[in-house]
Structure 1
């Protein structure tokens, strides 16, 4: 090893020690590891909901949640997050490329949770259960981007994009391809991002009080919610 290589490697090693000293409190086992979980620093929920709302209009729902939190961690933690592109989750829009399967916001949230938490399953369960039982959207931006009128809210009872959107459409009377529906999804992106960092913050401080949701709850897909004999089966 020549003098130049020695200096460069020494500097990089020192930087690594500095970073691990700052973030080691979160997940000591993640130091020097290329695999998740990666270090985490608490995020302001109010800040992230606005950021995620704005990000929705760059790459839609899955991107909005994932990239808004990822970019924040790139700034506060750096390290392993820097090489991950937020665009990785752009495929998730509309329930994965418009197929109406898993809600894109929840898809993006699960991805970022997996990067941050060793016990990611419990955190994902807590988020999805909240989503299924909470009237959404909640977020009310100062300057709505797509629709400025009242949107109403609905309880999805499901993490499935198609079911969630159709329940809201039935309750409010808006069409699925309306500007109001797009605004609704942008606001839910904000809601999910906010709840995600609230759960991550609680997990970071050891205050997350959540239990794994039983499999029977997660696998009970009631298709007659949207499809019955009256509408063609």
Structure 2
């Protein structure tokens, strides 16, 4: 039997509606097991240690790709949680105080991304006016512009004992000196600080967290 034939689409639609209204790992587990987005090994690990960000990504990737689900909340926030994003934002501000931190996960169709339909990500730091100027791309691979990759590639086994792209980036570039030109400054309105139309639509992690806090206050949710 085709795997899709075993899915109760009414059940799935109702749980996705509930998840958008009130996200929880319990609902996500029910969704993920119903559509087989989680393997037996995944389920065993979740039952023993709880959900990881990678587990959440696998479920979101399935429902965005196969059920055309549209999340009501930022996907990176749903995948990693507020506490993790706040920790990374603090680390980012300490290491790169003149650069805005972006971690964006979004569903993209193949014709747009070059990958198969699915949730892709960009991890980058955009220069603020007054930031030291990034070195040319021929001299550094520091991501100061959006670079999209398949979402599953965010995790892995990287040098320095790191297991995700954020920690690996800080391992390679612990501060701004490693990827900028001494004495050269980015100015407001120049090529380095300007964003194209696509980049302008992206929200930095600081903006995502601020927007989420504002939404909670409007809805009367506890902070």
Question: Normalising to structure 2: TM-score of the pair?
Answer: 0.29
User: Structure 1 or 2: larger helix share?
Assistant: 1
Greater strand fraction, Structure 1 or Structure 2: 2
RCO comparison, higher one (Cα < 8 Å, 6+): 1
**TM-score, normalised by the number of residues in structure 1:** 0.28
